Structures are given as structure tokens and as C-alpha cells.
Amino acid sequence: DTAVSQTPKYLVTQMGNDKSIKCEQNLGHDTMYWYKQDSKKFLKIMFSYNNKELIINETVPNRFSPKSPDKAHLNLHINSLELGDSAVYFCASSPQLSTDTQYFGPGTRLTVL
Amino acid sequence: QKEVEQDPGPLSVPEGAIVSLNCTYSNSAFQYFMWYRQYSRKGPELLMYTYSSGNKEDGRFTAQVDKSSKYISLFIRDSQPSDSATYLCATQIQGAQKLVFGQGTRLTINP
């Protein structure tokens, strides 16, 4: 039983392409997040959604567009990929806003060539 | 200056040693403090959670927070090779919606 799942696990693409990463949680949580982890393991929040509503947008370039079709899903679409977008992207969820415990997915390793 | 500073290591110790991992933070509004463990090619998982100052113990793990010096620590007793991972400290302001992470310390326990 996977709590937070992401697809794909690996993504290799050329600069300038558009790609999407999907996330699903089966924990019944209200809040979902996207994080970016760079090559130095620094994990930084990008977005959070609560019941399909955008709560946090951490000055991420507008080439990144999250979409939450329902509270169990939070997808990330990236336009015009750049070399600097190469990183591991983690989806996470928590029971509600302002909660300490976040459950992370396995990550999507994006490589832009 | 990052809000949460953590020595990235790497840190390598022999099996059975006591490990001390540390973070400092700059924002005195932080009230929740967490340690996440991340195995290679996996997502972070919550290991320890502490509210405000004090100690919390769970098996071989002890989390310690000193708000006066803005210093948080994780101690691992009787370290095992299975403890080899990256350990990330994280903090949160009460009522805020996001966690702020340190860079993570890569730990290796040698058999």
C-alpha cells in the first residue's frame, strides 16, 4: 500500500521541452506539497495545496504550474525546461494545514539535457 | 544566510558509536522541530518531532532543542549500519504551512 506515489520515477528530457509529474496520496489528507531537492540535498518547498486550493507559492518561476484535480492528486507541469530544473522533485502530504508531519513520496529524478 | 544551517558532512563513524547531528536556526519564531531520515534514492521520512525546547527520546534516538541558543540536535546511540542515511533537520513556525529544512547531513555507519 503506497501512501504517496509519484510518476514517473525518472525523467530525462531535452531543454525547452514541457513535462509533467503526477502525485497521488491515499491517506485521505487535505494538504499536498511539492518540494525540490537540489544536488546538494537541499530540500525546499515550492507549492502547497489545501483541498485543491493553492496556499503556498514560493516564488517559483511561472514555468512551473501545479494542478490539483482533487485533494488526493497534485500534479506538476513544467514548461520550457531549463538545465537548472534538474533535481529530484518530491511530493508530500499532511492531514491538514499547519501540521508537523508530512509524508513524502519516493521522488522524481528529473534530468534536463 | 539560510534560515536553517546544517553541516552536510559526510560523517563516517564505526558501528556502535554515538552519533551527534546538529542544526542551528536564525528565526526565533520557529517552534516545531523535526528530524527526517532519507535513505539513498528515497523520500524523507519523519524520525523525531519536538515542540519548543527540551528532549525527546525514542529508542536509540534522542532529539534535543535549545531555543535560547537556537540549536537542535539528534543523538543516535549504538549506531547501526542501517542508520546510514542523510538526516535532515526541519523547523516550522506555529500556524505556518511550510517546513524549512536544513541541507542534510550524510551519515555512514561502518560495520
Q: Are B98 and A56 within 8 A, CB to CB?
A: yes
Q: pLDDT tens digit string along B36-84?
A: 999 999 999 999 988 888 899 999 999 999 999 999 999 999 999 999 9
Res A104 pLDDT > 90 = yes
At A35, is the secondary structure helix, strand, or coil?
Answer: strand
Res A51 pLDDT > 70 = yes
> Which residues, in sequence order, are CB contacts of A25 under 8 Å at separation 6+?
A3, A4, A5, A32, A72, A73, A91, A93, A103, A105
Higher-pLDDT residue of A97, B7: B7
Residue type, B60: R
Span of A15-19, A96-100, B55-59 with lowest mean pLDDT: A96-100
Encode B6-73 in three state secondary structure: ECCCCEEEECCCCEEEEEEECCCCEEEEEEEEECCCCCCEEEEEEECCEEEEECCEEEEEECCCCEEE
A54/A51 Cα distance (integer angstroms): 9
- pLDDT class of B2 with cuts at 50, 70, 90: confident
Res A68 pLDDT > 90 = yes
The reported pLDDT for the residue numbered A98 is 61
CA A103 to chain centre: 13
- pLDDT class of A57 with cuts at 50, 70, 90: confident
Contact A50, A80 (CB under 8 A): no
The reported pLDDT for the residue numbered A99 is 62
Note which residues in 69-88 of chain B have CB less than 8 A from chain A.
86, 88
The reported pLDDT for the residue numbered A25 is 96
Res A111 pLDDT > 70 = yes
Higher-pLDDT residue of B46, A1: B46
| A90–chain B Cβ distance below 8 A for any pair | yes
| A3–chain B Cβ distance below 8 A for any pair | no
The values of phi and psi at residue A27, to 5°, are -95, -5
Res B20 pLDDT > 90 = yes
Res A80 pLDDT > 70 = yes
**Min Cα–Cα distance to chain A from B79, Å:** 23
The percentage of chain A sitting over the pLDDT mark of 70, rounded to a whole number, equals: 95
- Residues B32-38 have a mean pLDDT of 94
A22/A24 Cα distance (integer angstroms): 7
The reported pLDDT for the residue numbered A101 is 81
- CA neighbours closer than 13 Å in the CB half-sphere of residue A53: 7
**Min Cα–Cα distance to chain B from A26, Å:** 16
Res A76 pLDDT > 90 = yes
Mean pLDDT estimate for chain A: 91
Report the residue of chain B nearest A90, measured CA to CA: B43
Res B111 pLDDT > 90 = yes
The reported pLDDT for the residue numbered B51 is 84
Give the Cβ contact number of residue A80 at 10 Å. Answer: 11
